[in-house]
Amino acid sequence: MTHTLNNLTYCIHTFGCQMNKHDSERIAGMLEALGAYAVESIEEADVVVFMTCCVREAADTRLYGQVASMKNIPLRDGTPLNKRVIAVGGCIGQRDGDKLIETLPHLDIVFGTHNLASLPQLITDTLEEGGHHVEVKEASLSFPTDLPTSREHEWAAWLPITIGCNNFCTYCIVPYVRGREKSRTIEDIKQEAQRYVDAGVKEITLLGQNVNSYGRDLYGEPRFADILRSVNDTGIERLRFATSHPKDLTDEVISLFGTLPSLMPALHLPVQSGSNRILDAMNRRYTKEHYLGLVKKLRQINPEIALSTDIIVGFPGETEEDFMDTYNLVKEVGYTQVFTFIYSKREGTPAAAMVDDTPREVIQDRFDRLVELVQEQAYRENQKDLGKTIDVLVEGASKRDANLICAKSPKNVTVHAPLPEGIAIEDIVGTILKVHIDKAKTWYLSGQVVSL
Ligand code: SF4
């Protein structure tokens, strides 16, 4: 039985994707349900949880470094504990298990991606018995639906609809650490979405490694388009989703960008490369032509749709010609945002065994050229909103200026506007305002509030 964590403080450090951030919200919900309360810094925390990601080498190295440095951080004043409890979960916990404890002996708990619900018990076992506690299940039998959640923002919610992935892109570790894809039932998803709407949430983002293959493991094989329609019917104002695999994006889902009022005109569609040879080596299972065909259909449905993508530069064997295929594809599509990554080898993936002999300077030069193009494009795409009055969802004050509203446009671009006189930011956080855009920069728009 799990005991209370009354009066203990906790802090969660999250690395990686939205799925990890959502897992952290669930952990926060569980710890708060047992009486613990959140603090900002590790120094003030009795329980420190690292939610990890091993998709990129940088996060991996940071995690090991940060946990190692915990040894030297004194306990907070007034703590009832004589030792801080340190836990590592998420992808690195799943992948490394006991090995983490061997490398970092002051670590108390390791839990895998399928063991979120066990964390409170593992913490109480540590408090009562001391010692190390490791729980890493190979797979979940079903979707873990019933965990409480403590959301970062009252007005926005992430709603996972699938976990795991069946795609095995050759560079990616996710299928090995998150397991095979499992979908949640439509009923479950609808109920959770309705609870959020009833609680005043304005924006829901549906989450999955590949939301487009939703439902293939369920009886009757419901489709992702069914989920979009069902969540729209709850009365949510803004609906988004991530991530979308181009090979599974259907015409039915594309058509919803023209008909579902809540579906925002923004789609993250990771292309990874514009070279068919590299796409094949990545096991992406689509071609550049197929991808460009999707873009054409999306723009026919909504010429205003904002597209963003992920690109890996320097995949093993990438030639200048392959890179130029990517460069030209980016030029042709015109993205509002591109997340560019230099290829980083992940042990245990097929790509790790591929010959990777392109000099580092060559890859860096390609990366820099691409980033320059992406910036030009983002600037150009943002100019299209100049002079328009758009609805923005207020997220808070700008970090640099407390008198400036920071909000998000329907296309998911940051919008700044001076706080109207006599209005406190707390009164408008989470509301949708109309802003007239009078300036468009590379990474943000700015304007004046025209109605509250
Ligand atoms: S679709 Fe590919 S890149 Fe995305 S999580 Fe699955 S294996 Fe990884």
| Domain locations in the chain as residue ranges | 9-135, 144-384, 386-451
Query: Tokens at residue 217, please?
Result: 């493991």
- What pLDDT is stored for residue 84 in this prediction? 92
Pairwise pLDDT comparison (373 vs 149), residue with the higher score: 373
| 196 CA distance to ligand 1 middle (Å) | 28
Length of the chain: 452
Superfamily name and number for 386-451: Nucleic acid-binding proteins (2.40.50.140)
| 167 CA distance to ligand 1 middle (Å) | 6
| 300 CA distance to ligand 1 middle (Å) | 28
Place 210 in a pLDDT band, splitting at 50, 70 and 90: very high
Whether 389 shows a pLDDT value over 90: the answer reads yes
| 446 CA distance to ligand 1 middle (Å) | 35
DSSP 8-state secondary structure symbol assigned to residue 102: H
**Which residue puts its alpha carbon closest to atom 1 of ligand 1?**
167
- What pLDDT is stored for residue 144 in this prediction? 61
Ligand 1 atom closest to the Cα of residue 283 is 2
- What pLDDT is stored for residue 185 in this prediction? 93
- What pLDDT is stored for residue 72 in this prediction? 85
| 363 CA distance to ligand 1 middle (Å) | 23
- Best residue among 182, 210, 213 to mutate for probing ligand 1's pocket (most ligand atoms within 8 Å of CB) is 210
Place 265 in a pLDDT band, splitting at 50, 70 and 90: very high
Q: Angle at CA 161, nearest 5°, toward 178 and 243?
A: 70
- What pLDDT is stored for residue 3 in this prediction? 62
Place 249 in a pLDDT band, splitting at 50, 70 and 90: very high
- Best residue among 94, 113, 169, 181 to mutate for probing ligand 1's pocket (most ligand atoms within 8 Å of CB) is 169
- Mean pLDDT of all residues in the chain? 91
Query: Tokens at residue 224, please?
Result: 């992702």
- What pLDDT is stored for residue 80 in this prediction? 87
- Best residue among 174, 176, 248 to mutate for probing ligand 1's pocket (most ligand atoms within 8 Å of CB) is 174
Give the pocket of ligand 1 (CB within 6 Å).
Answer: 165, 167-169, 172, 174-175, 209-210, 245
- What pLDDT is stored for residue 17 in this prediction? 77
Q: 245: phi > 0 → left, psi -120 to 50 → alpha, else beta; which?
A: beta
Q: How far is CA 360 from the centre of its chain?
A: 28
- To which residue do tokens 């690195």 refer? 92
Ligand 1 atom closest to the Cα of residue 243 is 4
Q: 432: phi > 0 → left, psi -120 to 50 → alpha, else beta; which?
A: beta
**Which residue puts its alpha carbon closest to atom 8 of ligand 1?**
172
Place 146 in a pLDDT band, splitting at 50, 70 and 90: low
- What pLDDT is stored for residue 98 in this prediction? 87
Q: What is d(CA 293, CA 287) in angstroms, rounded to the nearest whole number? A: 10
445, 447, 451, 452 alpha-carbon torsion, rounded to 10°: 60
Place 236 in a pLDDT band, splitting at 50, 70 and 90: very high
- What pLDDT is stored for residue 147 in this prediction? 60
The β-bridge partners of 312 are: 341
Place 317 in a pLDDT band, splitting at 50, 70 and 90: very high
Ligand 1 atom closest to the Cα of residue 166 is 6
* Count of C-beta atoms within a 10 Å radius of residue 408: 21
Give the β-pairing of 432-440 and 444-451.
Answer: antiparallel
Q: Which of 138, 172, 140, 93 is nearest to 349 (CA)?
A: 172
Q: Phi and psi (nearest 5°) for 282?
A: -80, -10
Taking domain 144-384, whether its CATH number is 3.40.720.10 is answered by no
Place 10 in a pLDDT band, splitting at 50, 70 and 90: very high
The SS3 assignment for 173 reads: coil
Which tens digits make up the pLDDT trace of 24-74?
988 998 899 888 999 989 999 999 999 987 777 777 788 888 888 888 898
Write down the pTM of the prediction: 0.85
DSSP annotation string for 132-165: -EEE--S--SS---------S-TTEEEEE-EES-
Whether 18 shows a pLDDT value over 90: the answer reads no
Place 154 in a pLDDT band, splitting at 50, 70 and 90: confident
The greatest distance separating any two alpha carbons of the chain, rounded to the nearest whole angstrom, comes to 64
Span 172-180, average pLDDT: 86
Query: Tokens at residue 404, please?
Result: 């400036």
Ligand 1 atom closest to the Cα of residue 284 is 2
Place 143 in a pLDDT band, splitting at 50, 70 and 90: low
| 164 CA distance to ligand 1 middle (Å) | 9
- Best residue among 173, 212, 216, 245 to mutate for probing ligand 1's pocket (most ligand atoms within 8 Å of CB) is 245
Whether 141 shows a pLDDT value over 60: the answer reads no
| 283 CA distance to ligand 1 middle (Å) | 10
Topology adopted by domain 9-135: Rossmann fold (3.40.50)
| 90 CA distance to ligand 1 middle (Å) | 16
366, 367, 368, 373 alpha-carbon torsion, rounded to 10°: 90
| 170 CA distance to ligand 1 middle (Å) | 9
Place 177 in a pLDDT band, splitting at 50, 70 and 90: confident
- What pLDDT is stored for residue 250 in this prediction? 96
- What pLDDT is stored for residue 318 in this prediction? 97
